[in-house]
Amino acid sequence: MTLVKLLLAVSPFFILVPLTSILLRYRYFTPALKWFAGYILLCAFTGFVSYALWCLKKNNLWLLPVQTTAELPLILIGFRLGIGNYKHAFHFYGLLAGFMSFSILYSLVPDSICHFNSLVQNISSVLIISGAVRFFFHVQREMKTENIFRSPMFWIASATLLYYAGTLFLFSLGNIIIRKPLQATISFWLFNAFLAALQYTLIAIGFWRSKTT
Amino acid sequence: MNIYLVFIAGTEAMLLSAVAIILFAVAYQRKQMKQQKEKQSIELEHQRALNENYIRTTEDERRRIASDLHDEIGHSLLSIRLQLARFSGSENSRQLVDETIGKLRRIAYDLYPPDLALFGLQAALDELLRQAQQSSGLGIEASYTITDRENLTGHELTVYRIIQELLNNTIRHAEASLVSFQLTAAAGQLTVSYSDNGRGFEARVKKGKGLGLLSIENRIKAARGQLQVVSSAQKGFHAQICIPYTAQQEKNGHTENRPH
């Protein structure tokens, strides 16, 4: 159990890995990577505030709608710029505006900030997964990079695909899990922490690769 | 329903799908890149073959024109010269015919050097260097290390034309006083190292004069060789050319240094 506690305690600090990459490689970033850097900064900010509130034993679930509302446009615009396909701009930005409006309205529902915003989170996850899948579809058709592992976007798309696919069911069941005793559900949060650490590491690799492209 | 079961089954399915998508994308992209490389390689080989064919046709045509000039027009001019001598033609006419014969020989020689077929690459290059030195006053240092002369037959004309073009560039554009080159043919590798102490490549390019480098590159590509050029303004020009050839048993090897 000590190991589990240690892992849970250490996992929030994995955000420092991509943050270091941003600091060292930002000058090589393409516009797409800058949007993903924005996503990491958002994660760092919400992670820090969440950790501080948890230490103060205060409710930090209200941060979830904030993060959900902001992360989707950052990631999807990043993918759009990374793919370089600017068709259907009206539909794309319409979708983002619609999602953000819905997310904000949903967060205004009384008591919603004391629960997981599963519905909004799931819609966001599905859209992000779709964005990542679209990127891989694009890779198969048009990518010119000789070695795909040298492409920053490959690492970032893999990271987001793995994280959001892996946590889709976790957040769907979040409101059921949260009512159970912490000891019984610790493996769920450990799994989430592992996926987050994996995501941050892969994104950091992607940022680091920006110099070679 | 057991929440753990739903979570494990759902997450497992999602993660496996995600990993499958990533692996499929990697495998497919690699396959595509491999096919693209193969296609490029075929196109390059086709381009090289076309280039080689073009150069061969041009050289054959040059050889035919040189032969016709020498054998037919040259002989006709000699006959005219003899007729003029026999019938006491004017001195001016004889002089004019002599000059024409001289010009004709030079043109025929430029079109295709007979020394190359008769005496080999080194003799032809010696003659080329002698002429260049005579016409331009350049100091030329040449050295040859040829250990398997028999196998060079297919590349002799290529090397001759490359050196001829490089010399022309130096004389016309470089304002150089010294040229040096080494020709090495051994162990299946023909290497030409050519340097001059002129204005350098950049200065010549800025002046917008034709360098004939394209012609040299085409000949080298057709022979599956490689060209490296090192040059900057006022620091001279250096070219290294490597052409592979089929090496057979090395015999009759000799090394020779010949200042001109």
Q: Do B29 and A139 touch (CB under 8 A)?
A: yes
A172 touches chain B (CB under 8 A): yes
Q: Do A168 and B18 touch (CB under 8 A)?
A: no
* pLDDT given for residue B249 in this prediction: 42
CA nearest neighbour of A163 among A140, A190, A196, A193: A196
In a 10 Å sphere around its CB, with 0-12 CB exposed, 13-18 middle and 19+ buried, how is residue A92 labelled?
middle
* pLDDT given for residue B258 in this prediction: 47
* B243 compared with A6, residue with greater pLDDT: B243
- Mean pLDDT for chain B overall: 83
DSSP B169-183: HIIIII--SEEEEEE
A186 — pLDDT class (breaks 50, 70, 90): confident
* pLDDT given for residue A1 in this prediction: 57
Q: Do B14 and A173 touch (CB under 8 A)?
A: no
* pLDDT given for residue A112 in this prediction: 54
Which positions of chain B have pLDDT values less than 70?
1, 88-89, 201-211, 247-260
Q: Are B237 and B251 in contact (CB under 8 A)?
A: no
d(CA B140, CA B135): 12
Q: In which residue are the tokens 């393409």 written?
A: A30
Cα dihedral: B111, B117, B121, B123 (round 10): -90
Give, as one character, the DSSP assignment of residue A144.
-
Relative to beta strand B189-196, strand B178-186 is antiparallel
Q: Which of residues 103-162 of A touch B (CB under 8 A)?
A: 129, 133, 136, 139-140, 143, 146, 148, 154, 158, 161-162
* pLDDT given for residue B95 in this prediction: 85
Q: Give per-residue pLDDT as tens, A43-60.
A: 999 988 988 888 888 877
* pLDDT given for residue B60 in this prediction: 87
Residue of B1, B12, B15 best to disrupt the A interface, most CBs of A under 10 A: B15
CA distance to partner chain B, nearest, from residue A190 (Å):
14
Nearest CB neighbour to A133, from listed B10, B15, B21 = B21
d(CA A35, CA B105): 73
Helix axes A118-142, A89-107, angle to 10 degrees: 160
d(CA B127, CA B133): 10
d(CA A70, CA A76): 11
Q: Are B234 and B200 in contact (CB under 8 A)?
A: yes
* A112 compared with B147, residue with greater pLDDT: B147
Lowest mean pLDDT among A92-101, A201-210, B193-202: B193-202
* CA terminus-to-terminus distance, chain B: 98
Name the pTM for this structure: 0.66
User: What is the mean pLDDT of the segment spanning A74-88?
Assistant: 88
d(CA A70, CA A18): 18
Most confident of A83-92, A99-108, B193-202: A99-108
A157 — pLDDT class (breaks 50, 70, 90): very high
Q: Do A165 and B17 touch (CB under 8 A)?
A: yes
d(CA B102, CA B81): 12
Q: Are B94 and B84 in contact (CB under 8 A)?
A: yes
A53 touches chain B (CB under 8 A): no
The residue in chain B having the minimum alpha-carbon distance to the alpha carbon of residue A168 is B11
Chain B CB contacts of A174 under 8 Å are none
The residue in chain B having the minimum alpha-carbon distance to the alpha carbon of residue A138 is B25
Q: Do A143 and B29 touch (CB under 8 A)?
A: yes
CA-based R_g, chain B, Å: 29
* CA terminus-to-terminus distance, chain A: 44
A76 — pLDDT class (breaks 50, 70, 90): very high
CA nearest neighbour of A169 among A190, A188, A196: A188
Give, as one character, the DSSP assignment of residue B187.
T
Give, as one character, the DSSP assignment of residue B194.
E
* pLDDT given for residue A87 in this prediction: 79
Tokens of B112: 């295709």
Q: Are A163 and B27 in contact (CB under 8 A)?
A: no
Q: Give per-residue pLDDT as tens, B60-74.
A: 898 899 888 888 888
Tokens of B28: 């497919």
CA nearest neighbour of B32 among A135, A180, A159, A145: A145
A160 — pLDDT class (breaks 50, 70, 90): very high
Q: Are B240 and B191 in contact (CB under 8 A)?
A: yes
The residue in chain A having the minimum alpha-carbon distance to the alpha carbon of residue B26 is A148
Question: Which residues are CB-neighbours of B238 under 8 A, at least 6 positions away?
Answer: B193, B194, B195, B229, B230, B231
Residue A199 reports pLDDT greater than 90: yes
